[in-house]
Structure 1
């Protein structure tokens, strides 16, 4: 990945786009801080398709945690608050 300063990327925007198509994502920096990435539409679209998951897939991919629950009807309830 090549890095471009913002001023240079503005001046050579077409070149930045062409390079992103040919060589992959291009990093844009602003005052020395990485701020943005320019990448080809095809590459972006592929990354979006890979990240789409159903809620069930997201939940199943998480860690399995056993939550101890008291038997039904044996939970203590708080007394109602009187106003």
Structure 2
């Protein structure tokens, strides 16, 4: 993966995009630190699909995805049943 300083990526965007499409993802750096990556659209779609869990994975997961507030049992008082005459 080639690294491009942000000013070079801006100044030569057509070349930057072409390299991305022909050679794969291209890194953009800002002040020497990695800032972003340009990837082809198909690669992005593949990564997005791979990151999304399947229904089977969600159902078989050990940990819950949300916390439900379930009240404690046995704290409710009940009315006595009506008398049978």
Per the normalisation by structure 1, the TM-score is: 0.66
TM superposition outliers: structure 1 runs of 4+ over 2 Å: 58-63
Q: Which runs of 5+ in 1 are unaligned?
A: 64-72, 74-83
Distance, in Å, in 1 between the alignment partners of 2:40 and 2:25 is: 7
Q: Which has the larger radius of gyration?
A: 2
Q: Which runs of 5+ in 2 are unaligned?
A: 64-72, 74-85
Q: 1:1-80 counterparts in 2 under 5 A?
A: 1-54=1-54, 57-58=57-58, 60=60
Number of residue equivalences = 66
Distance, in Å, in 2 between the alignment partners of 1:5 and 1:21 is: 18
SS, match of residue 20 in structure 2: helix
Distance, in Å, in 2 between the alignment partners of 1:56 and 1:14 is: 42
Comparing 44-53 with 23-32, greater Cα deviation is found at 44-53
Once the 2 structures are TM-superposed, how far is the Cα of residue 61 of structure 1 from its aligned partner? 5.3
